[in-house]
Amino acid sequence: MATATFKIHGELSVFIERGRRGRSFEYACARAATLKHAIEALGVPHTEAGRLTVNGRPATLSRIVREGDRIEVFPADAGEGPGGMPRFIADAHLGGLARLLRMLGFDTLYENTIHDEEIVALAGAESRIVLTRDRELLKRRDVLRGCFVHAVKPETQLREVARRYALERHQRPFTLCLHCNLRLEAVDKVRVATLVPERILAGYPEFMRCRSCARVYWQGSHWSRMREMLDTTLAADHA
């Protein structure tokens, strides 16, 4: 056993016992425990940890905890996502968030029957960020990138994810099918004449279609309402 002094900063404090929040505390770690093992034993998933220091110096999750260490754990900084367009996989409880992310143009896998094992496998194989409200899922060793979603309402969840991964600069609204998660393709209105009401066909010049489910999209009043909702949700992060 090695007894070290820990301080868990910022929003990470919600993962630890109330009596340990906002202050330094001693904790006896298992023999040869790494920082990853130690902070997860305290309740903090390794995916949520950003900067780590040991005795005032930068450290990594693989660093072994030693007797008398002074360890500080800081949240991941906002905007510290992958350099390019992030891709996500959402667990079975985040269907509303998945739909909003697709609405913004972010490739987001979601099935309401998906199991944790499938999530972990797909995230690793396709370099996806795991979105979940299950902290135990994020503690799995094979989950390299993930985000614990604190909020319950989808719009607030979107705000959290957008802030953490700087989604505003990457968004491409209404380019993905909300049902299939596939890229929409421009289609001549003649080819969708039998798929949409006549008044819609006459009132709009441009249409998009999903090559998988054949759903047709156009910039009608529903598009305007969704655009307004997305703008309001993202703008709230800067208020």
What is the SS3 string spanning 109-141? ECCCCCCHHHHHHHHHHHCCEEEECCHHHHCCC
Query: What pLDDT shows up at residue 77?
Result: 81
Across the range 70-97, mean pLDDT stands at 87
Does the pLDDT value for residue 16 go beyond 80? yes
The band of 91, judged by pLDDT with boundaries at 50, 70 and 90, is very high
**Residue 231 confidence (pLDDT):** 84
The whole-number average pLDDT for the span 107-124 is: 96
Q: How confident is the model at residue 221 (pLDDT cuts 50, 70, 90)?
A: confident
- The predicted pLDDT at position 124 comes to 96
Residue 94: the pLDDT is 97
Q: So what's the pLDDT on residue 83?
A: 61
- Kindly tell me if the per-residue pLDDT of 237 is higher than 80: no
| pLDDT the model gives residue 228 | 86
* Rounded Cα–Cα distance for residues 142 and 121 (Å): 8
Could you tell me the pTM of the whole model? 0.88
Please choose, from the candidates 194, 186, 182, 190, the residue with its C-alpha nearest in 3D space to the C-alpha of residue 218.
186
**Cα distance between the two ends of the chain:** 47
Token pair, residue 61, equals 């999750």
> Reading across the β-sheet that carries 49-54, which strands appear in turn?
25-29, 2-8, 70-75, 49-54, 57-58
User: Please, are residues 149 and 132 in contact by the beta-carbon 8 Å criterion?
Assistant: yes
What's the rounded Cα separation, in Å, for the pair 11 and 139?
Answer: 17
User: pLDDT value at position 230?
Assistant: 84
Q: What is the pLDDT of residues 162-211, one digit of tens each?
A: 999 989 888 899 999 999 999 999 999 999 999 999 999 999 999 999 99
pLDDT higher than 80, residue 84 = no
Q: Tell me the pLDDT tens digit for each residue of 59-78.
A: 999 999 999 999 999 998 87
d(CA 94, CA 149): 9
The yes-or-no verdict on residue 239 having pLDDT over 60 is: no
pLDDT score of 155 more than 70? yes
Considering the chain, what is the average pLDDT of its residues? 92
pLDDT for 238: 56
